[in-house]
Amino acid sequence: MLMPRVKKEEQPEKKVRKKMKPIQAVKGMKDILPPEQFIWEHILETSRHMCQDFGFGRIETPIVENTDLFKRGVGQVTDIVEKEMFSFETQGGDKISLRPEGTAGVVRSYIENGMSRWTQPVRLYYDGSMFRYDKPQQGRYREFHHFGAEVIGEDSPAIDAHVIYLAWKIFQKIGIKDISIQINSIGCATCRAKYKKLLTDYYDMKINKLCTDCKRRLEKNPMRLLDCKEEKCMQVAAGAPQIIDNLCPECNGHFKSVLEFLDELEIPYVLNSNLVRGLDYYTRTVFEIWAEGDDNDSRQTALGGGGRYDGLIGLLGGEETPAVGFAFGVERVAEKVMKLNLDLEPKISKDVFLVQLGDLARRKVMKVFDKIIDTDISVGESVGRGSIKSQLRMANKAHAKLALIIGQKEALDNTVIVRDMKSGMQETVIMNEIVKEVRRMLSK
């Protein structure tokens, strides 16, 4: 006799969760991790303090600006505007862009906020993110950070030298001492017109040796050909006419005075006749800060640069106003600092460090921490660690003067052992009087 088959209770299918692919940072963007942060802080704090010593005030402008600001200010025939801007249209139809550089936004703010009525010159500094859709490479990212300074409202060559001196001093203070100031004058609209004709005639005879971009630039902006980094274009540029030989008397006198001021300040510089900078708004003095290559790289690296831009305020709708400034890329400077192995290890120093053993002691330590954190006493802790020995090592690493130790007995008695980290001497104090006792012991 066949027995009926008993159906097994159907088991629900186990869902196999597919492992998700990790999301990575957008191409050309970079995380700045804690080990790098102290280098960035050193660079930015040094630069900010130096600018403040020179009488500059901090300005912050929006990351997003109207696209026309950069088209009119930076220039239509520049790599930034033609190929590198992150531009988009809002739901309301406004054409806006992530800022590719800082000067245009500062000038827009100068005009919009009536800074021309302030005591002149107006000295401003800034730092923040910039964006360019460029091919990512070492030291250059699609989101990068600039530190910059601008002096608006003064045309004296002394101000040009003053700004160059500020830039030079910042790098000296940061610790990058082996630098050179590359400097040139690109004249004003008057003397540039004659020079552009000479330059165009020269390049017309060499057009077959130029890269595609330079062939296109030749018609609208021939001076940009001097700035091309293509090897074959650099060879052609080496024989080009020099603008320094074609300056009008006013521009020649201005540049001569700038160099005399630099000589007086004993700032070393190199006359570079091919230096024009990549933005259309520059006039007269232009300069770059070059760092010498290390043992593995004999090339010189441009860490930053700047110059005079006397026509930009008028071009953007303000009254004709002279101005000069500079900026540097924080990423490139940070990489240079790391290569130099400067002694910039973060110096953490705490007045007291809290040490505990056991759950009840951990709760009591949190209470002591709450008492101290609102005072002027600096405090450190490592409540996640269970070993007193490892916590005392942390206290030593933090250069703590005192260790406040709470074990099981102290937690029950509402007391704290205060250990002098230098002498090893200890005493027990009542928990409610810990702030008063710590102050007394720190004052010895």
d(CA 145, CA 128): 5
Q: Are residues 58 and 113 in the same domain?
A: yes
pTM higher than the cut 0.95 = no
Per-residue pLDDT of the chain (444 residues; tens, 9 = 90+): 455 555 555 555 666 677 888 999 888 888 988 888 889 999 999 999 999 999 999 999 999 999 999 888 776 545 556 567 888 888 888 999 999 999 999 999 999 999 999 999 999 999 999 998 877 766 678 899 999 999 999 999 999 999 999 999 999 999 999 899 999 999 998 888 888 888 888 888 888 888 888 888 787 778 878 878 788 888 888 888 888 888 999 999 999 999 999 999 999 999 998 888 766 788 999 999 998 765 444 345 789 999 999 999 998 999 999 999 999 999 999 999 988 888 776 566 789 999 988 888 888 888 888 889 888 899 888 876 668 888 888 888 888 999 999 988 998 999 999 999 889 899 999 999 999 989 998 887
- pLDDT for the residue numbered 140: 72
In the chain, the percentage of residues whose pLDDT exceeds 90 is 46
User: Within a domain: residue 10?
Assistant: no
Q: Are residues 403 and 430 in the same domain?
A: yes
Amino acid present at 168: W
What are 207's two structure tokens?
A: 């057009």
- Residue after which a domain boundary falls, among 315, 340, 365: 340
Q: Are residues 292 and 423 in the same domain?
A: no
d(CA 291, CA 376): 42
Q: Are residues 288 and 411 in the same domain?
A: no
Output the 3-class SS for 113-143: CCHHHCCCCEEEEEEEEEECCCCCECCECCE
Q: Are residues 335 and 405 in the same domain?
A: no
Q: Tell me: the pLDDT tens digits for 270-297?
A: 999 888 876 678 899 999 999 876 544 4
- pLDDT for the residue numbered 112: 97
Number of domains making up the chain:
2
What are 285's two structure tokens?
A: 């003095």
- pLDDT for the residue numbered 307: 95
Amino acid present at 124: L
Amino acid present at 22: P
Residue 58 CB partners (closer than 8 Å, separation 6+): 48, 51, 124, 125, 126
Residue 2 CB partners (closer than 8 Å, separation 6+): none
d(CA 356, CA 335): 40
Q: Are residues 58 and 99 in the same domain?
A: yes
- pLDDT for the residue numbered 295: 44
- pLDDT for the residue numbered 10: 56
What are 312's two structure tokens?
A: 């930009």
Q: Are residues 48 and 184 in the same domain?
A: yes
Strands (E), 172-278: 179-185, 269-271
- pLDDT for the residue numbered 134: 75
Q: Are residues 295 and 404 in the same domain?
A: no
Q: Which domain holds residue 260?
A: 34-188+248-340
User: Within a domain: residue 202?
Assistant: no
Q: Are residues 358 and 413 in the same domain?
A: yes
- pLDDT for the residue numbered 208: 86
Q: Are residues 333 and 366 in the same domain?
A: no
- pLDDT for the residue numbered 247: 93
CA 196, chain centre distance (Å): 34
- Residue after which a domain boundary falls, among 320, 340, 360: 340
Q: Are residues 302 and 357 in the same domain?
A: no
What's the farthest any 2 CA atoms get from each other in the chain? 122
- Residue after which a domain boundary falls, among 319, 340, 361: 340
Cis amide linkage into residue 241, ω under 30° from 0 = no
Torsion of CA 112, 114, 115, 116, to 10 degrees: 120
Q: Are residues 78 and 164 in the same domain?
A: yes
Closest CA to 96 of 85, 106, 104, 107: 85
